[in-house]
Structure 1
Amino acid sequence: MKKYDVTGIGNALVDIEFKVTDQFFTDNGVEKGLMTLVDEERQNALMKVIHTASAKKQCGGSAGNTVIAVSQFGGKSYYSCKVANDELGHFFMDDMKEAGVTSNLNVDHLESGITGKCLVMVTEDAERTMNTFLGITQTYSIADVNEAAIKDSKYLYIEGYLITSENGKAAMIHAKKIAEENGVKVALTFSDPAMVKYFREPFDSVIGASVDLLFANEEEAILFTGKDNLLEAREELKKVAKRFVITQGKNGAMIFDGDTFIDIEPYETTAIDSNGAGDMFAGAFIYGITNGHSYASSGKLASMASSKIVSQFGPRLQWHEAKDILARLNP
């Protein structure tokens, strides 16, 4: 029996989330609705103009949010990442432990540097805008990949944001190779439309012949395939993924289980913050398929969970909320 349902690899970021108006973007030269990589000076300038007292702080990063979701639903997860030996690095490590996730982080082996952080700006229309300073996580490399954890997992989950650096891409390819050589299924998330738009060819080198499971939203699927609509895009995705999930926001999701397409209905909700919705969908879905649920049932669980996430601030459920959702799935 495998020790972990999933081992994730990705950027370790402390998410600092706060509410803003559209005027904030105009005043501070921020492009709304995108994830933008910034340097430390730029992020510090933004930090000076936000209302830090009202900001919510949690350990995160895309794959980090996903493996935490797996844990909250009762699964077992491992996270391979990199933080610095600073205040936020220690916060990240402690918060990950409290979330029930095992990781490669050890206080005695943290390097000097600056832990990455992501400023998550949320507007009244529930759209998220992120400015990310990667800090030490941009040096994540093959050396940080835990081969033993991957071998002892049902799934390897690869975060698409790692594609932005050569060392990150190399780590993605290395981890995928370990998984494939040891019969571990490989899941990949594109993470963000900007990643697909600007790093299309590097993604090809990571995907290789195919991945076992791909997560994309509608925009990413169309961008990656170069098709004009979702129906054409989903047929093209069959060439690179044995199975895939295409999330469609308020319209639910579409799952290809290797044979047929399954439409997942959305759950009625009032969206106030879309931050982490895709990460939560992936986490709940992976929990489901690694714990005896069908693809349809796992999609339903993921839809419930992501509808709950967008109705509140932050990318993480409370523990009791995860239990309540499972109870609704299995009355």
Structure 2
Amino acid sequence: MTSLDILGIGNAIVDVLARAGDDFLARHGMAKGSMTLIGPDDAERIYAAMGPGVESSGGSAGNTCAVAAALGAKVGYLGKVADDTLGQVFRHDITAAGVHFPTPPLTGGAPTARCLILVTPDGQRTMNTFLGACVTFGEADLDEASIAAAQVTYLEGYLFDPPAAQAAFRAAARIAHANGRKVAITLSDPFCVERHRDAFRSFVRDEADILFANEAEICALYQTDNFEAAATIAQSEVGLAALTRSEKGSLLLTGTTAHEVSAEPTTVVDTTGAGDAYAAGFLAALTAGRPLPECGRWASVAAAEAISHFGARPQADLKALVKG
């Protein structure tokens, strides 16, 4: 296995994005800005009610991997799709983005996952996720050679929902650390944190080297409404924390230092994938040996590009953008 800069592990999902008004969310009982897990019947109902959509391979860590590859990083990805049409679409898309994807497909089981994303006029995205084949991801799907070859193994918090995946995360962390590598995790969503707070806290404290979270997620993790208080706890529990605050920029924390990073100015069209792109920019710069403030700048540039258009995958030349 050739060396990798980043290996992402997450829910392999095909995204379906469509515009919708707040009235659509209300009619369907959706909490604006959240991610809700749904079953196959709800997936069919919501899909039928959505307006014209854009379909693409996605999933949080998958988006991060694609953006990091666009920035020139050597990237791999582990995630479970089914041996069906959407699974083939996902595999083709992520491979075409320059990402190594060795996970074999699931045969004879649930279909490939899909996420129905409603984008309101203010750019906020509300996600309804049918996990499908994702829930079968477990330790047997870990590619030890890829983990050992990656500078950073990046874990998607959404994958904490299936218990088998939590065990896989811990096994991946053991493999990474045994090979002198780093482990990063993103909290993904405050509702996900609420569902698995104890498991997240344990993992962040005992297994993670790098933590990504937004303001709502870090406050949910530490059960406080005070961002500064939550940031202080994070600084004491993990070696490096990158905490995002939307238009307020982000805060990078190590045990002894704090760096404030400004947000890049842009017009918000769709916030889908903003955090994914931020993590991609940060890790691409970090694995290239850049100093922390520069990692934060790359992250902000990537996030600004992501929210300037519809969809989570980059549409501009990110290498040129980070050069300024």
What TM-score bracket applies, with the shorter chain setting the length?
over 0.9
| Aligned with 1:118 (options 80, 98, 115) | 115
Q: What does residue range 244-259 of structure 1 map to in structure 2 within 5 Å? A: 244-259=241-256
Q: Provide the residue aligned with 1:221 in structure 2.
A: 218
- Helix, strand or coil for the counterpart of 1:317? coil
Q: Provide the residue aligned with 1:325 in structure 2.
A: 321
| Aligned with 1:147 (options 144, 147, 150) | 144
Q: Provide the residue aligned with 1:67 in structure 2.
A: 65
Amino acid at match of 1:59: S
Query: Could you tell me the TM-score, scaled by structure 1's length?
Result: 0.94
Amino acid at match of 2:53: A
Amino acid at match of 1:222: C
Amino acid at match of 2:45: A
Query: Could you tell me the TM-score, scaled by structure 2's length?
Result: 0.96
CA shift for structure 1 position 212: 1.0
CA shift for structure 1 position 321: 2.2
Q: What does residue range 197-276 of structure 1 map to in structure 2 within 5 Å? A: 197-276=194-273
Distance 1:242 1:257 in 2: 6
Distance 1:261 1:188 in 2: 19
Q: Kindly, what percent of the aligned residue pairs are identical?
A: 36
Amino acid at match of 2:24: F
Q: Provide the residue aligned with 2:42 in structure 1.
A: 42
Asked if the contact 2:103/2:141 (under 8 Å) is kept, the reply is no
- Helix, strand or coil for the counterpart of 2:272? coil
Give unmatched runs, 5+ long, in structure 2. none
Distance 2:273 2:6 in 1: 18
Distance 1:326 1:249 in 2: 19
Q: Provide the residue aligned with 1:8 in structure 2.
A: 8
Distance 2:92 2:225 in 1: 45
Go from structure 1 to structure 2 and tell me whether the alpha carbon gap of 1:130 and 1:242 turns closer, same or farther (over 3 Å shift). Answer: same
- Helix, strand or coil for the counterpart of 2:14? strand
- Helix, strand or coil for the counterpart of 1:239? helix
CA shift for structure 1 position 2: 6.3
Q: What does residue range 15-26 of structure 1 map to in structure 2 within 5 Å? A: 15-26=15-26
- Helix, strand or coil for the counterpart of 1:211? coil
Alignment RMSD (CA, Å): 1.5
| Aligned with 2:176 (options 170, 175, 179) | 179
Equivalent residue pairs, number:
323
Distance 1:214 1:306 in 2: 17
Asked if the contact 1:210/1:242 (under 8 Å) is kept, the reply is no
Distance 1:292 1:264 in 2: 18
Distance 2:262 2:26 in 1: 36
Asked if the contact 1:218/1:246 (under 8 Å) is kept, the reply is yes
Asked if the contact 1:211/1:240 (under 8 Å) is kept, the reply is no
Asked if the contact 1:169/1:206 (under 8 Å) is kept, the reply is no
Q: Provide the residue aligned with 1:86 in structure 2.
A: 84
